[in-house]
Structure 1
């Protein structure tokens, strides 16, 4: 049990450090640019790994409640340290963005770090709470409270990460002022479709899949589902809806800028 957990605790921060160092040494990037891109790279790789694990698990489980796959618990253990690492990496990104905006030197002091941390928590409070919830609630729910049931559903949950690489690529393109590129437009369409399919529709599909398994009406599923499932869905699904709304607003603003005639 401790093996995958320790491997994840080493792999994700280690990959970040290696990527950041390579970008700085081989390409001559600044510390800030290397941190921002390396953070997106690690997030994208974790998403690819999680989605791949989810596909293997869900496609292997014929009985959605009883069938088991060894990768289910192994990947939960491996990925859990990622969420702790990612909070720190997001703070580093925020720190370097503030340095660029303020044109300050990168030498931190206690007051500057406290101010940056306060600003980070105000700006990213939902994402931080999401990551804390994933470790504090979803980790024990996946390993203990399920009691070995529902590996299929756990695999489907992993597939939610399929939208993450396009989100990360979009942020990198915006960082380098590539909002009008063809790549950004194509990526934006894929991001909308993947986020809607893999995150917005995720929880309704899970309830629908169980209703088919148990041969009960869809509206009865919340009444018979474990409280942990209902609580997780009640807290996580509104976040996905909120973030999808933000993505749609961003797409509409970008579309409006393209349609606006020059000089108007």
Structure 2
């Protein structure tokens, strides 16, 4: 257990530093540009790893409640440090953007941190919730049951590479390109199917397994599952509305920013 968490603690920050230094030396980018792109690369890789693990787990569990797969707990332990690292990486991106704009929140990192927490409070709370609640719930409270559902939850990360690519394209003033529009369309589709429909599908899958109506599932599911869904699903709906508004601005020619939800 500790070995997997330690590996995650080394892997994600280490990959960020390696990518940052490589981009600075090979591409000649500034420290800020290299840090921001490296953050997106690490987030995209984590999303690919999580989605791949999710596909393997979900496809291997014929009994959605009782079947087990070793990769489930292993990836939870390995990926848990990512969410703590990503909070710091997002703050670094925010700090570099302040410097580019010519103001550094009064020159104080403390003031910049306060501004970052105000601006990204939902995303920070989401990451903290993943580490402090979802990780213990997945490892301990479910008592080795429901690996299929955990695998499906991993598939939520499928939309993250599109989010990251959109941010990078905007960073390098490529928001008017065909690639940005195609990426925006793919983001809408992946976010809708892998995040918005995720929790209704989990309840539907459990209702089929238990042969009960969907509306009765919350009465049978563990309270941790209901709490997690009630807190995380509204966030996905909120972020999806932001993505839709951004897409409407792009198609209407009134702007270029697509508010990306998750790293």
| TM-score, normalization by structure 1 | 0.94
Q: What CA distance in whole angstroms lies between the structure 2 residues aligned with 1:250 and 1:49?
A: 28
1:115 positional shift: 1.2
Structure 2: tracts of 5 or more residues without a match: 256-263
Q: What CA distance in whole angstroms lies between the structure 2 residues aligned with 1:25 and 1:112?
A: 29
Matched, 1:22 2:22: yes
Q: What CA distance in whole angstroms lies between the structure 1 residues aligned with 2:211 and 2:141?
A: 23
Matched, 1:122 2:118: yes
**Secondary structure of residue in 1 paired with 2:101:** helix
Deviations 1:11-59 (A, max 9, x none): 0000000000000011110000000000000000000000000000000
Matched, 1:76 2:76: yes
Q: Where does residue 162 of structure 1 map in the other structure?
A: 158
**Secondary structure of residue in 2 paired with 1:216:** coil
Superposed structure 1 runs of 4+ greater than 4 Å apart:
none
1:258 positional shift: 6.8
Q: Where does residue 10 of structure 1 map in the other structure?
A: 10
Q: What CA distance in whole angstroms lies between the structure 2 residues aligned with 1:213 and 1:131?
A: 31
Structure 1: tracts of 5 or more residues without a match: 260-264
Deviations 1:94-137 (A, max 9, x none): 00000000167xxx99x510111011001000000000000000
Q: What CA distance in whole angstroms lies between the structure 2 residues aligned with 1:258 and 1:171?
A: 18
Spell out the pairing of 1:1-264 with structure 2 (5 A cutoff).
1-102=1-102, 112-257=108-253
**Rg larger for:** 1
Say what the alpha-carbon RMSD is for the aligned residues.
Answer: 1.4
| TM-score, normalization by structure 2 | 0.95
Q: What CA distance in whole angstroms lies between the structure 1 residues aligned with 2:6 and 2:103?
A: 38
Deviations 1:132-163 (A, max 9, x none): 00000001000000000000000000000000
1:209 positional shift: 0.1
1:215 positional shift: 0.2
